[in-house]
Amino acid sequence: MSDQTIFFSYSRDDSEFVLTLAKNLRKAGANIWLDQLDIKPGTRWDKSIETALEESKTLLVILSKSSVASTNVMDEVSYALEEKKTVVPVLLEDCDIPFRLRRLQFADFTSDQNKGLKTLAEALHLDGSVANKLTDSSLENIELSKKEVEEGKRIKQEVEAKKSEVIETVKKSSEPVAKAVTEPISTPSKPKSKLPIIIGGAIVVIAIVGFLMKDAIFPDKDTQAWEMAMEKDTKTEYDFYIRTNPNGKFLLAAKDSITSKEEQAITKADNKAWAEAGTQNTVEAYNKYLEDFSRGIHIVEANSRIQKLEANALEVAKDENAWDAAKTDGSVNVLASYITNSNVLGNFKDEAIAKINEVGNEGWLYYGKKKGDKMDNEVFDLDYRPDEDVEKDMIPQAGDILIVKKGFRTYNRVGATQAEGATGRAVKVGKKVLLIDTEERGNAIFAKVKHD
C-alpha cells in the first residue's frame, strides 16, 4: 500500500455517496482504500480496516448527521489525528462538525458538487492530471452506484423478509409443539411430523438474533460507563471513564472528548480575557493578555493595537510639547502656527484660538477685491480654515488663519468706502493672524483681525 493511500471513514448511511466518490477518485488515478471495494471475501473486516488505517497517510472523513454520531467514525478520526495523519473532512450535509475538525480545510458538497470536487482535489494535494480527471468526472458512476446500492437494499429487504417468515412460523408453531410433546402418535401410517425441523430452525434463528442483539439487550459495563459519560458530557466524566476503564473500547473517543472540552475552556477564557483587554484599551492590558495567552486567538490583533496605542502615545506627547511651546511664546503668530501645523494632532486648537482672542491686538484693514468667487490684489493669503481644504485666494470668512502679504496699518472701524480711525499699529509681512469678521463695500472686502 502506497504512502499516499487515502482511507475512507464514513457512516453506512452514506454508502451511496461514498461509493460514488471512491470510484471517481480511483478512476481519476488516486490511490484510495474503501472497505466496500477492498476487503476480500473470507477476510476479517475488523483486521482489514485496522491494517488499512495504520498504513494510510490520509484519512478522508465524510461528515453527516449519521457519521458524527458514529463512535467508530470518531474513533478513526481520533486515531488519525493522534498519529499525525492528514485528515480531510468532506461535508456531505449540514451537521454539528466535531470541534477538532473545524479548523481543517474541508470540501463542501452541500450545495455545489463541482466546487466540492475542486476543493477536495486541493486538500488531498492531488497532482494536476488526477485533479483534472476528478473534476471532469461524468455522472455515470453516480448512476451506477445508485443501482448497486438499490440492489443491496433489495437483497437486504429479502433477507429481512425471510427472517420475518421464520419468526412468524415459530410463533404459529408454538401451540402444536406443546401438543406434540403431550400427545402420542395415533398410527404408524401417518407421515413423520415436520415439527422437529421447525423447532430446530426456530432455535437457530433465536440463537442468531440473540447473538446479534446481545449488546443491545445486555450492554457490557464498558458500554454503560461510556454512555453515562456521554450523557453528562463533562471533562470530569470522560476522565473518570478512562481511569475506571483503562482497556475500554472508547478510550480514543474519551481522549478526544477531553481534548475538545479543554480546548473549549481555553477558547472561552481566551475570549473573556480579550474582551477585558478591549474594555481597558491600554498597552498594559494588551500586554497582560499576551502574557497570559502567548498563543491566543487574538495575538495578532493585540500586537496591532499595542503598536497603534504606542504610536498614538508618541503623537500625543509631540502634540503636547508643541502646545506647551506655543503657550510659552504667547504670540498670535506662534499660536496661529500651532493651529495650522499638520504635523501634530492639534488637540489644543480651541485653547489656541481662545488665547489669540485674549492676547491679540484688534483692528480693521483692507483685504482685497472680489473677482467672481476669488480674491484679487489681496493683502493676505488664506492659510487655514477648520475642516476644509483651502486655496490662498478664496473668499475669506471668520475663523480663517491668514498670512500677511503686505504690511498695512490697522483702523478702529470701516467707513463708507474705507477703514477709518488709525490705531497706530500695523500687521507685519509673513506673520499669521486670526480673521474674526469681514465687511463688504462694493466689491472691496475689509477684514477685522487679531494680530501681534
Residues 325 and 348: beta-carbon distance below 8 Å: no
How far is residue 281's CA from residue 273's CA, in Å, rounded to a whole number?
12
If you ran DSSP here, which 8-state letter would residue 42 be given? T
First to last CA, the chain: 92
How far is residue 127's CA from residue 87's CA, in Å, rounded to a whole number?
18
Helix (H) or strand (E) segment spanning residue 404? strand 401-404
Count the Cβ atoms, other than its own, within 10 Å of residue 181.
8
How far is residue 17's CA from residue 10's CA, in Å, rounded to a whole number?
10
Percent of the chain that is helix, strand, coil (3-state, to 5):
55, 15, 30
Name the stretches of the chain with pLDDT < 50: 1-2, 138-145, 152-153, 155-156, 159-160, 163, 166-167, 170-171, 173-188
Assign residue 49 the CATH number of its domain. Answer: 3.40.50.10140
Looking at 114, 137, 160, the residue that finishes a domain is 137
Which of 397, 393, 418, 390 is CA-nearest to residue 405? 393
Single-letter amino acid code for the residue at 400 = D
Helix (H) or strand (E) segment spanning residue 269? helix 251-280
If you ran DSSP here, which 8-state letter would residue 13 be given? G
Looking at 107, 137, 167, the residue that finishes a domain is 137
Give tens-digit pLDDT for 156-169: 455 445 545 544 55
pLDDT of 9: 94
Residue 52 lies in a domain: yes
Residue 22 lies in a domain: yes
Residue 20 lies in a domain: yes
**Edge to edge, what strands does the sheet with 32-33 contain?**
32-33, 6-9, 58-63, 86-91, 107-108
Residue 401 lies in a domain: yes
pLDDT of 390: 92
Which of 292, 323, 331 is CA-nearest to residue 428? 331
pTM listed for this prediction: 0.44
Bridge partners of 420? 413
Residue 99 lies in a domain: yes
Contacts 24+ apart (CB under 8 A), 425-431: 425/361, 425/363, 425/451, 427/365, 427/451, 428/404, 428/452, 429/404, 429/405, 430/403, 430/404, 431/332, 431/333, 431/403, 431/404
pLDDT of 148: 57
Q: Which domain holds residue 383?
A: 360-451
Q: Look at residue 443 and give its three-state secondary structure.
A: coil
Domain count, the chain: 2
pLDDT of 181: 38
Grid cell listed for 337: 502656527
Residue 164 lies in a domain: no
Residue 368 lies in a domain: yes
Given the DSSP bridges, would you call strands 32-33 and 6-9 parallel, antiparallel or unpaired?
parallel
Q: Which sign does the torsion angle of CA 270, 271, 277, 281 carry? A: positive
Which of 286, 29, 246 is CA-nearest to residue 137? 29
According to DSSP H, which parts of 330-360 are helical? 332-340, 349-359
pLDDT of 286: 94
Looking at 137, 158, 187, the residue that finishes a domain is 137
